[in-house]
Structure 1
Amino acid sequence: MLKMPDMLLLLCLFGATDALYKQWIPDTNYENSANWDTGFVPCAKNGVHFLAQTKVSIYVETIHSVLALRLPLDGEFILNSKAGFYMGGSQEEPGCGPAGLIKFNVSENVKWFNPTLWQVAASLDDLEKRRFLFAVHEETVPCQYDDVVFKAKSSFRVDTTSNYASIPVQTVSVLGKTFSSDDEFSRYLGSNSGRLQFQGSSVVSVGNLGCSDSSGCDCGNSAKHDMICSSVTSPTVTCKKPLQPAGHCHAVCGAIVTVYYADGFNLEAYRQRLQHLFLVKPSYKSIQLGMSKIFKSQRLMGIIPFGSSAEIQIVILDGETGQQAGSIAEALARDILKDVHSEGSHLGIAGAEFQASSGSSSDDRPGSSAGVAVGAVFGVLIVLTLIVVMVILVRKGVVHVPKVVMPSMPSLPSLSRFQNNSDVGDLGGPLDRGFENPMFDKPTLMPAESTLYTTEANHAISMTQSGVHFVNPVYDDNETDFNA
């Protein structure tokens, strides 16, 4: 029989999705009081004024009585069923504000890459029920695998200006219609509504394939980090050691858990596991938790880059302030590590570690020392390979080693002058050689005897078993008697 955590995990696996839903917050709805300069919706005793140069698409949900309408040169009303305007209504309408002219506000701060203008959810149902997720700033803005949602009964205006020709996403939903084909969505962008709603130099493109990796995919917004963070105001942090999450625009007080995953890990299933095991607890009701897959560059000896490694980053924030900021987040980080210790092998997790803004940390990555040794061996092999390649290139003449010219040194007196000059004595005078012995002189100075230095002379030496014998040339072995 399955235990409760296993049943929750099984349900999470069946409910896992490949992407998140990013919903645009601002709208240009007529009924939104924030869109009017007086802070309330016009009524029968108000004149409605749109600036002549305003380019806006306005959604009208119900019928309204107004005193007058001044329309822009380029704009539109999108009317819901039974919605419209009429003049001369009762100025005693309940809830009607002061009489006068009311101007419609068109905000210029509606940039696509402003993370404060997006909401993140795991499903459409979560969007409708306002169950939003926390995410780092780079991933709050729609990623290349995400589904972008503009509210069904709503119109909007978004500025897509950026340094990029296109903004790829998986799908876009506008007025309840979902576009998954780039051709179809391009036609909508060319319509009057699309032209007024999407304004800017970059074109939003749909049809991008979803993430097929169960461990998660790279968002693709890291290159746009500066542009995303230009719209974010950094708050004042009060914790002892603020943390800087990857993909976030400023330091935070809380905790960061790094998960090292293996085969079988499912990012969305693990997200839901943490939701069901921990975030439902009353003690963690103030927690904001964001999960994402990040790539950290690896450097040999901290200097030479040789690749990157994929990790799961869990950013945990709490609502505490002052000296208590991040304390609840640290408690949750410790609970997550305990769960990794007990159930990590079943979840495809090889290990985890955390850092807290209090200064506490924990390293639970197995084989870390072995990893350092492997990295050192790998570095030595790289150096040896480079040396071998350089030697081969030099020998083949591909690479030429510059000659080093040494500065000239004053010549020293040659010792051979003293060694070869045998005519110099110890006191510097001529060496006394004594007398010459013709018997030990050089052969070239001896009289030219025909048999003395010929092959016949070899017979003067004979070898026997008893040794080597020299023949005396004065002795004649043919003579048996010697007479004086």
Structure 2
Amino acid sequence: MGALGRALLWLQLCAMTRAAYKLWVPNTNFEVTTNWSQNRTPCAGAAVVFPADKMVSVLVREGHSISDMLLPRDGEFVLDSGAGFGAADAGRDPDCGAAAPALFLDPDRFSWHDPRLWRSGGAARGLFSVDAERVPCRHDDVVFPPDASFRVGLGPGVGPVRVRSVWALGQTFTRDEDLAAFLASPAGRLRFHGPGALSVGAEACADPSGCVCGNAEVQPWICAALLRPLGGRCPPAACRDALRPEGQCCDLCGAIVSLTHGPNFDIERYRTRLLRGFLPQYQGLQMAVSKVPRQNAGAEADTEIQVVLAETGPDGTGGAGRLARALLADVAEHGEGLGVLSAAVRESGAPVGDGSAAGLEGSGMRAGLAGGVAAGLLLLLLLAGALLLRGARSFRWSRREEAAPAPFVAPLGFSNPVFDVAGSVEPPSAPQVENSSSVSRSYFVNPLFAEAEA
């Protein structure tokens, strides 16, 4: 069986075992414009400079004419059929002029823990994942692009990155021994770096109710990588009393439905029910459904199903709250058949641009001044009562009379910066392996660096 056949068979096995897989997006290809300092590939006659103290694998698909090239201390060119380099005089291309050398950007800038650099396989329209689950979870299969070169930083080494399997360079790694041998090889050292460790061998999620992702320990590093372009801070929320779902780095506007379930609950069936029967009726919403650790579990189950309904428009329309209450009604009517035991809802407040609250508060103050101390106290009491009613945004339904009310979580106050990856990163196509006869590898070692590895 050829490499392409093995890849297709592997993906079919993923579907059969209910395993999810995540695709690595960025690459170190020579022709990708975002890999160069001038945001374009080197023009004819340009000088090309790679970071001298780095290691990198670079796929070259076309022919290029350059005046000179400064190589890194260790690396490889992977030459596609017909690709190569030729000598040319500096400034041969009149559009180049006397431009500065073309600098290949730092290949170590791509981190495993950056949610923007992954794509979930088979994601449906209208669905998103909370930030911690955008990075490969412990039950996921991981696929690196077979038609691109890449380099991945494995993080600070606080704990091993553990997944079900890794597919790279036409090989599937399901045992730590095989993966460790690959990572120690020249090809592995060019593609994976950093103090972190990568481990495989976890089982696929076999629980119909879903499995917890398992990235809670590394979520600080996930959030740091996600927010680095924003200076490490979440942007301000577009609503009052914004919510922060479990696994999310920043607060968002919308609603969270928390479900406790019985043994008959099937998360895939429930997700499909919401995606087809409810979400299309509400515009401007995105939905995430996953199993998460239960907060303040006590004697109850230590996990729950979290349904996040996020408002994506600049001016929230309140659709998330309406959909959340529709889901409560659905659970009240069909909960037993769905395997749902109880449900609770939390909603964010009104959009920040809404002036009703400020107007009410100002009129109360003016009436207090005009009506004297007694009238002022009365208005303050009325205002306090109104605020209490306004803040009571938790709803709950349960089939069990003895079910305890859901704990109220104090809202924080920021919004989620992104639900999608940055536009500068190009998503890969479905994994396909090139014919090995059309690709050759050319290793280079810079003689200026005595410490270069053979």
TM-score higher than 0.5: yes
Corresponding residue pairs, total: 343
User: Contact 1:120–1:133 (CA<8 Å) still a contact in 2?
Assistant: no
How far does the alpha carbon of each residue in 1:358-400 deviate from its partner, in whole angstroms, 9 at most, with x for none? 2544211222x41349xxxxxxxxxxxxxxxxxxxxxxxxxxx
How far does the alpha carbon of each residue in 1:278-324 deviate from its partner, in whole angstroms, 9 at most, with x for none? 3445x43x42211111122446xxxxx55653210011212222xx3
1:281-430 aligned at under 5 Å gives the runs 283-284=282-283, 286-298=284-296, 306=299, 308-321=301-314, 324-325=315-316, 327-358=318-349, 360-367=393-400, 369-372=401-404
Provide the rounded CA distance (Å) in 2 between the counterparts of 1:291 and 1:184: 34
1:197–1:98 Cα change, 3 Å: farther
Provide the secondary structure at the position in 2 that maps to 1:335.
helix
Provide the secondary structure at the position in 1 that maps to 2:27.
coil
Q: How far 1:91 moved relative to its partner?
A: 7.6
**Amino acid in structure 2 at the alignment position of 1:182:** D
Provide the secondary structure at the position in 2 that maps to 1:230.
helix
The Cα RMSD (Å) is: 3.0
1:277–1:27 Cα change, 3 Å: same
Provide the secondary structure at the position in 2 that maps to 1:67.
strand
Provide the rounded CA distance (Å) in 2 between the counterparts of 1:274 and 1:217: 19
Higher relative contact order (CA 8 A, sep 6+): 2
How far does the alpha carbon of each residue in 1:189-234 deviate from its partner, in whole angstroms, 9 at most, with x for none? 1221210211011221122111111111121111223232233341
Provide the rounded CA distance (Å) in 1 between the counterparts of 2:125 and 2:69: 39
How far does the alpha carbon of each residue in 1:232-273 deviate from its partner, in whole angstroms, 9 at most, with x for none? 341210312111211212221111111222122111232233
Q: How far 1:356 moved relative to its partner?
A: 1.2
Q: Which residue of 2 aligns with 1:455?
A: none
Unpaired segments of 5 or more residues in structure 2? 1-14, 228-232, 350-390, 406-454
1:219 has 2:213 as partner: yes
**Amino acid in structure 2 at the alignment position of 1:229:** C
State which drifts further: 136-145 or 219-228. 219-228
Q: How far 1:176 moved relative to its partner?
A: 4.8
State which drifts further: 35-44 or 220-229. 220-229
Provide the rounded CA distance (Å) in 1 between the counterparts of 2:132 and 2:277: 27
**Amino acid in structure 2 at the alignment position of 1:314:** V
**Amino acid in structure 2 at the alignment position of 1:354:** V
Provide the rounded CA distance (Å) in 1 between the counterparts of 2:90 and 2:47: 14
**Amino acid in structure 2 at the alignment position of 1:296:** R
1:207–1:156 Cα change, 3 Å: same
1:90–1:339 Cα change, 3 Å: farther
How far does the alpha carbon of each residue in 1:386-443 deviate from its partner, in whole angstroms, 9 at most, with x for none? xxxxxxxxxxxxxxxxxxxxxxxxxxxxxxxxxxxxxxxxxxxxxxxxxxxxxxxxxx
1:10-409 aligned at under 5 Å gives the runs 18-88=18-88, 97-98=96-97, 100=99, 101-106=101-106, 108-121=108-121, 123=122, 133-231=127-225, 232=227, 233-280=233-280, 283-284=282-283, 286-298=284-296, 306=299, 308-321=301-314, 324-325=315-316, 327-358=318-349, 360-367=393-400, 369-372=401-404
Q: How far 1:98 moved relative to its partner?
A: 4.7
User: Contact 1:317–1:326 (CA<8 Å) still a contact in 2?
Assistant: no
Unpaired segments of 5 or more residues in structure 1? 1-14, 300-304, 374-484
Provide the rounded CA distance (Å) in 2 between the counterparts of 1:271 and 1:312: 11
Q: How far 1:106 moved relative to its partner?
A: 0.9
Provide the rounded CA distance (Å) in 2 between the counterparts of 1:184 and 1:51: 31
Provide the secondary structure at the position in 2 that maps to 1:145.
coil
Q: How far 1:92 moved relative to its partner?
A: 7.5
Provide the secondary structure at the position in 2 that maps to 1:227.
helix
**Amino acid in structure 2 at the alignment position of 1:316:** L
Provide the rounded CA distance (Å) in 2 between the counterparts of 1:157 and 1:244: 32
1:306–1:349 Cα change, 3 Å: closer
Q: Which residue of 2 aligns with 1:438?
A: none
Provide the rounded CA distance (Å) in 2 between the counterparts of 1:178 and 1:57: 20
Provide the secondary structure at the position in 2 that maps to 1:332.
helix
State which drifts further: 201-210 or 307-316. 307-316
Provide the secondary structure at the position in 1 that maps to 2:222.
helix
1:327–1:167 Cα change, 3 Å: same
Q: How far 1:89 moved relative to its partner?
A: 9.1
Provide the secondary structure at the position in 1 that maps to 2:402.
helix
Provide the rounded CA distance (Å) in 2 between the counterparts of 1:16 and 1:68: 51
TM-score (structure 1 length as normaliser)? 0.64
User: Contact 1:170–1:180 (CA<8 Å) still a contact in 2?
Assistant: yes
User: Contact 1:214–1:265 (CA<8 Å) still a contact in 2?
Assistant: yes
User: Contact 2:255–2:347 (CA<8 Å) still a contact in 1?
Assistant: yes
Provide the rounded CA distance (Å) in 2 between the counterparts of 1:133 and 1:45: 47
1:97–1:276 Cα change, 3 Å: farther
**Amino acid in structure 2 at the alignment position of 1:371:** A
Provide the secondary structure at the position in 2 that maps to 1:370.
coil
Provide the rounded CA distance (Å) in 2 between the counterparts of 1:216 and 1:20: 11
How far does the alpha carbon of each residue in 1:2-45 deviate from its partner, in whole angstroms, 9 at most, with x for none? xxxxxxxxxxxxx7863332222332111111110011111213
Provide the rounded CA distance (Å) in 1 between the counterparts of 2:17 and 2:316: 33
1:271–1:66 Cα change, 3 Å: farther
Provide the rounded CA distance (Å) in 1 between the counterparts of 2:324 and 2:271: 14
User: Contact 1:296–1:310 (CA<8 Å) still a contact in 2?
Assistant: yes
**Amino acid in structure 1 at the alignment position of 2:286:** Q
Q: Which residue of 1 aligns with 2:429?
A: none
**Amino acid in structure 2 at the alignment position of 1:362:** F
